[in-house]
Amino acid sequence: MRALDLLAGFHLPKSKEAQAATGRAARECARPQVRARHSRMAVAGLARLGRAHWELSLTDAAVADVPDTRDPHRLLAQTD
């Protein structure tokens, strides 16, 4: 049994289409959420072990001699 088979129905919110899907279609519906959750768990685990860290690259651009704050403004505009 593949990992996605095990994780596909484990506490993932499902659309009506995903609820009706079986087999490969069900795995394909679950894949994006499983991938995102796996990525977050991996990064958190690596950070906890001291093997990963965060770098605030947006701040480097904002405090440069010629500041560039377009990216943060663009990101903030998307949250409205």
Alpha-carbon Rg for the chain in angstroms: 19
Q: Evaluate whether 7 touches 34 at the Cβ level (below 8 Å).
A: yes
Residue 51 pLDDT more than 70?
yes
Residue 1 pLDDT more than 50?
no
Confidence tier at 5 by pLDDT (50, 70, 90): low
Average pLDDT of the segment spanning 27-46: 87
Measured from the Cβ of residue 30, the count of other Cβ atoms closer than 10 Å reads 20
Phi and psi at residue 68, to the nearest 5°? -130, 105
Q: What is the pLDDT of residue 12?
A: 60
Segment (H or E) for 63: none
Q: Evaluate whether 5 touches 23 at the Cβ level (below 8 Å).
A: no
Average pLDDT of the segment spanning 23-27: 87
Q: Evaluate whether 8 touches 26 at the Cβ level (below 8 Å).
A: yes
Higher pLDDT, 52 or 80: 52
